[in-house]
């Protein structure tokens, strides 16, 4: 049987963190193609092993009918390491976490972090869906009273100097500015808005998978080398596991 006739063809499925929902939904709407997308609760980031299990469960669930499974996740505390499927190509942005994805690269995130070490980053979905320092403060006020809550928060925030709101240009930030400003003023934090980008998410949806992505062939288990090849002398395990390129008639070279 030729390689051409053996190629599995089927739908694309996106499995993503709910933090990516506003940007991904917009990118998918602009793409015009119907794509199955499954969002996973952001709270699982607190327990990377549980997130890994949930991701593998979802991958196993959709793999029999999918030819491409695309993750709206980065390395995310190593919670994607070990993921694999025998049936589909597995595609993951080559970034450390969601903030790096929204800023466009690990290098962009590192450059921003170098400007001010004590930074706490937020975006629209973080404020709506996630436990942030602001929501934790609200819970403490309800449980401990305002005075005690503020003392506890000052201890938690002693190494922070600013709150950074990432603007990807996909939605109106005005509803969030007042809340952030009030919190920052209470705890003597600066507030800064910085431009983000949907470049990686747009490429993910458009299937323009260049060096910013790990593209793992069926059967390949994701490793740290796939995401940080520079730590291992260059080259990812996924690239070495990929089949040789097809010849013009679609068959694999002998």
The string of pLDDT tens digits covering residues 147-178 is 999 999 999 999 999 999 999 988 889 989 99
- How much is the pLDDT for 243? 60
Does the structure show a pLDDT above 80 at 224? yes
Between 103-107, 205-209, 246-250, the lowest mean confidence (pLDDT) is in 246-250
Which residues partner with 69 through β-bridges?
13, 90
Q: What is the pLDDT of residues 19-58, one digit of tens each?
A: 888 888 888 887 766 788 899 988 888 899 999 999 999 9
Between 88-97, 124-133, 168-177, the lowest mean confidence (pLDDT) is in 124-133
C-alpha dihedral, 38 to 42 to 46 to 48, nearest 10°: 20
The reply to whether CATH 1.20.120 applies to domain 3-99+199-241 is no
- How much is the pLDDT for 3? 33
The pTM of this model reads: 0.84
- How much is the pLDDT for 250? 41
Helix (H) or strand (E) holding 91: strand 89-93
User: Distance (Å, rounded) from C-alpha 78 to C-alpha 228?
Assistant: 11
Domain boundaries, the chain: 3-99+199-241, 114-195
- How much is the pLDDT for 171? 85
- How much is the pLDDT for 246? 43
User: Distance (Å, rounded) from C-alpha 118 to C-alpha 189?
Assistant: 10
């Amino acid at each position: 049987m030729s390689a051409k006739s053996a190629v599995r063809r089927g739908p694309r499925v996106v499995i993503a963190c709910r933090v990516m929902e506003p940007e991904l939904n917009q990118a998918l709407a602009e793409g015009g193609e119907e794509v199955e997308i499954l969002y996973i609760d952001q709270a699982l980031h607190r327990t990377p092993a549980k997130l890994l299990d949930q991701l593998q469960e979802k991958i196993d669930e959709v793999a029999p009918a999918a030819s491409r499974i695309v993750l709206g996740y980065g390395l995310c505390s190593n919670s994607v390491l070990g993921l694999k499927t025998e049936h589909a190509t597995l595609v993951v942005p080559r970034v450390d976490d969601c903030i790096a994805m929204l800023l466009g690269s690990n290098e962009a995130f590192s450059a921003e972090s170098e400007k001010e070490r004590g930074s706490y980053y937020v975006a629209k979905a973080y404020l709506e869906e996630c436990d942030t320092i602001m929501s934790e403060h609200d819970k403490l006020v309800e449980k401990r009273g305002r005075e005690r809550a503020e003392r506890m928060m000052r201890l938690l925030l002693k190494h922070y100097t600013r709150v950074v709101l990432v603007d990807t240009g996909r939605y109106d930030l005005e509803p969030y500015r007042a809340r952030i400003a009030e919190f920052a003023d209470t705890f003597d934090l600066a507030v800064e808005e910085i431009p983000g980008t949907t470049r990686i998410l747009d490429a993910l949806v458009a299937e323009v998978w260049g060096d910013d992505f790990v593209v793992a062939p069926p059967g390949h288990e994701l490793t740290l080398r796939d995401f940080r090849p520079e730590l291992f002398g260059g080259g990812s395990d996924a690239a070495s596991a990929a089949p040789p390129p097809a010849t013009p008639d679609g068959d694999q070279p002998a």
